[in-house]
Amino acid sequence: MATTVLAPGATRVRQRSAVYDWLTTTDHKKIGILYTGNSFIFFLLAGLLALAIRSELAQPGLQFLNPSEYNQMFTMHGTTMVFLVLMPFLAGIANYVVPLQVGAADMAFPRINALSFWMLPLGGILLFSGFFLGGAAAEGWTSYSPLAGVKYSPGVGTDLWIVSLVLIGTSSILGSINFLTTIFKLRAPGMTLLRMPIFVWTVVVTSLLIMLATPVFTSGVVLLFIDRNYGGNFFDPATGGNPILWQNLFWFFGHPEVYILILPAMGVISEILPVFSRKPLFGYKAFIFATALIGTLGFSVWAHHMFTTGAVFNPFFSFMTFLIAVPTGIKFFNWLATMHRGQLSFATPMLFALGFLSIFLIGGLDGAVLASPPADYALHDTYWIVAHIHFVFFGGTMFGVFAALYYWFPKMFGARLNEGLGRIHFVLMFMGTILTFFPMHMLGLDGMPRRIVDYSPNAGWSDLNLLATIGGFIIGISVLPFMWNVFITLRGPRDAGDDPWDGNTLEWATTSPPPPYNFDHLPPIRSERPLFDLKHGSIHDLDGVAVPAVASGEGAH
Amino acid sequence: MSPRVRKAAAIAGLVGLTALVSGCSAMYPPNPVTDQGKDIWSLYNLFFVIAAVIFVGVEGVIVWSILRYRRRGDQLPRQTHGNNVLEVVWTAIPTALVLGLFVISFGIQGRVDAKVPDPPVTVDVTGFQWQWTFEYKDHGLSYTGLGDQGPVMWLPVGETVHIRLHSNNVIHSFYVPAFLFKRDVIPGQVNNFDLKIDQAGTYNGQCAQLCGMDHYQMVFSVKAVPPAEFQAWLQAEEIKARATPTPAASGAAGTTLQLGASNTQSFDKSALDAAANQPFSVQLTNSTPSAPHNFAIKDATGKVLFTGLPLAQPNQSVTYSVPALPAGTYTFFCSVHPNMTGTLTVK
Amino acid sequence: MAASTDVARTTAEPQAAGHAQRGMDTAMVGMLLFIASEAMFFAGLFGAYFNVKATHLVWPPEGFELDLPLAAVMTLILITSSFTMQWAMVRIRRGDRTGMNRALVVTIILGVVFLAGQLWDYAHLGFGISSGVYGSLFFTMTGFHFAHVVGGVIGLSLVLARGASGQFSARHHTAVAAVGMYWDFVDLVWIGLFTVLYLVK
């Protein structure tokens, strides 16, 4: 078989110090790892904020946080988790995986890729500096006006919040442009759009959402900045402004944002389930259709966050929100059908994928209840919402992130993470998640509002809060075996080989880790599972029996 | 999966199922005490049952697949790529389901948001940082919450009450869990809705929209009584309001101390001095844009010795005559915002 | 191992920027997507404008007068500059770098004249960004457009500098095309602003 070297001069790389190499790299693989490492650091920080919140709430009475500090805690926890943890985790995994999965040598704009990354630690430092400059932002990650205006939140913390989010938002937008260009222009020959891995499809839709929604958020926070610093009047009713304008701008972005956070995770699950079931993803095209439908409908539901304002036309947004449950259901059924009659194995990536299914299911059902305005009148701004968002963001996205990390770790570093430690991590994190967030449904139903530092001892909320706090600490503890696992694995032998999981897609057709130019040679691409085809015969019938390949005269398509 | 892991998973599953079934009753909102709340409760009930069925079904399939389709051997399973008929079916049925749920929800929303043309009772609710004011404008009554109890809204059982929500500061939310209902209080906009309580009792309420530092203490309660008792209360309150004219800002007695309040966090002074055994005055200037303040004194045990009335409204100055106090160290504070404190040294 | 398919032929030449094999050039795709994201930024601002306008009975509020004649002239200037930019493209496609450079110079001059006109307008309007919500909206929307024109002038200048130093040819002029697309976008946004702020009100 012929061996083609993509870039003959690429192997003659000058040796520089490792630190300089990592600081100046434009290699998507290193940048992906940088994204992931940076996100993990902020994950620990935001996690500590969460533990502070849970510690304060475990019992009634103000124990160690005052109200102003508490408001900063949950604001920073939410902002950090959304913008500095979940989004960049997904961007980092995509950064590493997408060029490999489409058979490209790198992203379309490698230097902009590096820029996109380095804006993140800078944005994070700016955001957290608020703590040392008189108080961080404290109006919730949703930062409603007029509370976020200069009259009611005079400190510099909110301005730092705005500036850091403009930076981080720009990083995302540049990243999304990079992903879309890479996917549309740099696919290996033979990889038509309908032969792309499903993870790549979710990155396409996610990138479109980022590109179209995040700039609207930027415009909103810019208006807030002008109000706060240049005498603007956008959100002040006394001078003709409109507080509801802020909510409309924020949620027009904010709702697509939650799909930005979940679609790539769903893509990860859709990669893992077929590999560990030894069957193709059931309904590949239906899955693409459902993803595109979620992306499109996602722009039409934003005001379901505003049902209680009396300022929006509830029935329209309720209708669209009910509709958007359908494509998610399609995905669930396709996942179940993928596993059905498969040959399932349960390595840690699969455990997290299954955990995702169970927990995200609950979060999704929570959301379906909220699609109804009258039900929302009872549940909005209560702990039911906190339950819902954590089931979908933590049980959904974060479990998807861990599934991805366990799955692609051997590709990145040449060694599989230890399975025993992985199982301990999974069990603790799964149980911790349920224990922390399930009681919050009951708390919300019983009337506990969100964003309160304390509650009355007579409210009857103490026991459930204590339970949730215990669960929170279990989640915190569960991260430790993961960190230890990474540490010992990186010190151990790098013996995973090219294809430790018997995978289907192109990233497993090169070394672990890949060379700087990714591929020495590519298998022929005739389906969305080019490596499966290579291993099990170019074309197989429904029973997995190889059928002789067609004559070799065919060209690229 | 090893037998031990399988056993552990089975036990966990059993425990989970038990918790689930026993927790089902906790997965309902409190019994609603308004007509509108009852509609919402029945809607939630429908949603919850459907959600529970879907959850058990889907989770069951997941668990079934895990147990039944564990990998045995190296042979590839049948490589089924999809089934278009199935896709259509499991798109069409959920679509029909959600459309049905939307129609039901839409109907309930109409009933909950309906307003009658001539409600017998109207209460104007104003939210500010971090208290509520309830006004019965037709009767000239106004109640502002003090301390951490909040004001009480007396309402008649069985009659439609109309509530109007006002704010001239930040957004708040008027939430009574027992009504299964909340509505935002937004500056520049007057939200209004009807309520009909059908059960006497006292119901706690709380602000549900983050509004700043003391958001968690912005509480109130609604006291629903039979209509006759409500009318009696109204009349008694009207008489009391007429009989007690708003205390005039009296002239200075002894020295007049100056005190300012420009925000809701603290006074402009954290320490005041006064002579022992002599009445004195405190002129409080309130330059906060939207919150009332006052001047109150409590002793070292926390017992409130003096509550200055009337409250100084925004951009108002009120002089309070404080009776003589024995020598000692006291705390002065704002009844509306108990976090605003300072030390009063009397010697 | 794989069947007899010649894998060497499935590995094509790498997609270097500027070498479009099929469809739009890679760098142009990037510029197009960037423009789409910037369009959404302005969409947010326009959305704010319409949202605030919808809550006002009288709009524009009393006392806010705009200089329509000046804005009309500025619109003509910007539209003309799009034509001169297009002329630059036409010239370089024919290999006439000098013609391209000249057209770029005219485009830049028109852009600078536009900016000067905008500054003159700001100085003579009689209200500012803190003058009620109308002032905030007007200055924010036209101000961000101003910033985008500045960015465009800088881009044009960079392209002109490269053209003057002998770069670009009939086959390779991606940067010119990309900046040209950006300039057209900036012009379109202005037409939108002019229509909404000055004509429709």
For the range A482-485, what are the long-range contacts, defined as Cβ-Cβ under 8 Å and sequence gap of 24 or more?
A482/A402, A482/A421, A482/A422, A482/A425, A484/A421, A485/A417, A485/A418, A485/A421, A485/A422, A485/A425
B76 in any annotated domain = no
Domain endpoint, select from B242, B268, B290: B242
Cα separation, C88 vs A17, in Å, equals 46
- The answer to whether residues B106 and B131 belong to one domain is no
Nearest to C104 by CA among C153, C51, C60: C153
Instruction: Give the mean model confidence (pLDDT) for residues C14-42.
Output: 81
- The answer to whether residues B9 and B107 belong to one domain is yes
- The answer to whether residues B59 and B134 belong to one domain is no
| Cα separations in angstroms, A288 against A270, A335, B79, B89 | 11, 13, 19, 17
**Are B47 and A375 within 8 A, CB to CB?**
yes
Give residue A441's pLDDT band: very low, low, confident or very high (50, 70, 90): very high
Give residue A554's pLDDT band: very low, low, confident or very high (50, 70, 90): very low
- The answer, for A260 touching chain C at a CB cutoff of 8 Å, is no
The DSSP code for C198 is I
CA end-to-end span of chain B: 79
- Which pLDDT tens digit goes with each residue over A127-149? 999 999 999 999 999 999 999 99
The DSSP code for A252 is H
Which A positions 151-180 lie with beta carbon below 8 A of chain C?
A: 173, 176-178, 180
The DSSP code for B290 is S
Instruction: Give the mean model confidence (pLDDT) for residues B205-211.
Output: 96
- Which pLDDT tens digit goes with each residue over A396-415? 999 999 999 999 999 999 99
b (16+ CB within 10 A) / e for A136-170: bbbbbbbbbbbbbbbbbbebbbbbbbbbbbbbbbb
According to DSSP, the β-strands at B328-333 and B296-298 are antiparallel
Q: Which residues of C touch A521 (CB under 8 A)?
A: 7-8, 11
- The answer to whether residues B62 and B150 belong to one domain is no
Residue with tokens 């599972």: A529
Instruction: Give the mean model confidence (pLDDT) for residues A295-311.
Output: 97
Residue B199 structural domain: 121-242
**Are A181 and C17 within 8 A, CB to CB?**
no
- The answer to whether residues B160 and B218 belong to one domain is yes
Which residue of chain C is at minimal alpha-carbon distance from A523? C7
- The answer, for A556 touching chain C at a CB cutoff of 8 Å, is yes
pLDDT of res. A266:
98
Instruction: Report ipTM (2 d.p.).
Output: 0.91
Give residue B70's pLDDT band: very low, low, confident or very high (50, 70, 90): very high
Distance from CA of A232 to the nearest CA of C (A): 5
Q: What is the CATH number for B92?
A: 1.10.287
Q: Which residues of B touch A311 (CB under 8 A)?
A: 186, 189
Domain endpoint, select from B205, B222, B242: B242
- B neighbour chains, 3+ CB pairs within 8 Å: A
- The answer to whether residues B269 and B228 belong to one domain is no
Q: What is the CATH number for B341?
A: 2.60.40.420
B294 in any annotated domain = yes
User: Which residues sit opposite B271 in a β-bridge?
Assistant: B343
- Which pLDDT tens digit goes with each residue over C66-80? 999 999 999 999 999
The pTM for the full model equals: 0.90
Choose among B77, B181, B206: nearest Cβ to A341.
B77
Residue B258 has pLDDT above 80, yes or no: yes
Residue A175 has pLDDT above 90, yes or no: yes
Total length of chain A: 557
**What is the phi/psi pair of residue C199, to 5°?**
-95, -60
Q: Which domains are assigned to chain C?
A: 24-200 (1.20.120.80)
Q: Which domains are assigned to chain A?
A: 30-554 (1.20.210.10)
Which A positions 47-106 lie with beta carbon below 8 A of chain C?
A: 104-105
Higher pLDDT, B287 or A545: B287
- What stretches of A317-445 adopt beta strand conformation (E)? none
Active-site annotation of A, residues: 77, 106, 141, 171-172, 255, 257, 259, 270, 304-305, 328, 331, 450
- The answer to whether residues B23 and B109 belong to one domain is yes
pLDDT of res. B152:
96
- Which pLDDT tens digit goes with each residue over A203-222? 999 999 999 999 999 999 99
ω into C60 cis (within 30 of 0): yes
Question: Which region holds residue B308: left if phi is over 0, alpha if psi is between -120 and 50, else beta?
Answer: beta
B75 in any annotated domain = no
- The answer to whether residues B320 and B270 belong to one domain is yes
B247 in any annotated domain = no
**Are A240 and C52 within 8 A, CB to CB?**
yes
B251: tokens are 């002239």
b (16+ CB within 10 A) / e for C49-68: beebbebeeeebeeebeebe
- The answer to whether residues B45 and B95 belong to one domain is yes
Cα separation, B79 vs B143, in Å, equals 72
b (16+ CB within 10 A) / e for A100-120: bbbbbbbbbbbebbbbbbebb
The DSSP code for C34 is H
Question: Among A170, A173, A206, A219, which would you mutate to test the C interface (most chain C Cβ atoms within 10 Å of its Cβ)?
Answer: A219
Burial class (CB in 10 A: 0-12, 13-18, 19+), A557: exposed
According to DSSP, the β-strands at B256-261 and B280-286 are parallel
Total length of chain B: 347
- C neighbour chains, 3+ CB pairs within 8 Å: A
Number of domains in chain B: 3
- Which pLDDT tens digit goes with each residue over A23-34? 999 999 999 999
- The answer to whether residues B312 and B331 belong to one domain is yes
- The answer to whether residues B176 and B268 belong to one domain is no
- The answer to whether residues B35 and B133 belong to one domain is no
**Are A421 and A484 within 8 A, CB to CB?**
yes
DSSP letter for each residue of B144-202: E--TTT--EEEEETTSEEEEEEE-SSS-EEEEEGGGTEEEEE-TT--EEEEEEB-S-EE
Contact A223 C140 (CB under 8 A): yes
